[in-house]
Amino acid sequence: MSGHQGRYKLREIVNSIFYQNRMGCQWAYLPHDLPPKSATYCYFARRRDDGR
């Protein structure tokens, strides 16, 4: 579980994942106006590991 639980809106997390996918940048290079890599990647990895 992440320490970021509930700190960011789910829509912001989804936008971060879409941005990373579209731009192909590394997680660490997400723009500063999006949630940090630690929060974004936590949600991404959890869904990936669930097979979603």
CA geometry: angle at 51 spanning 16 and 27, to 5°?
25
Helices (H) and strands (E) in the chain, counts: 2, 0
Predicted confidence (pLDDT) at residue 49 exceeds the cutoff of 70? yes
Predicted confidence (pLDDT) at residue 1 exceeds the cutoff of 80? no
pLDDT category, 50, cuts 50, 70, 90? confident
7 against 34, higher pLDDT = 34
Query: Do 4 and 42 contact (CB within 8 A), yes or no?
Result: yes
Distance from first CA to last CA of the chain, Å, rounded? 18
Question: CB neighbours (10 Å) of residue 44?
Answer: 18
Q: Which pLDDT value is given to residue 5?
A: 61
User: What is the value of pTM for the model shown?
Assistant: 0.79
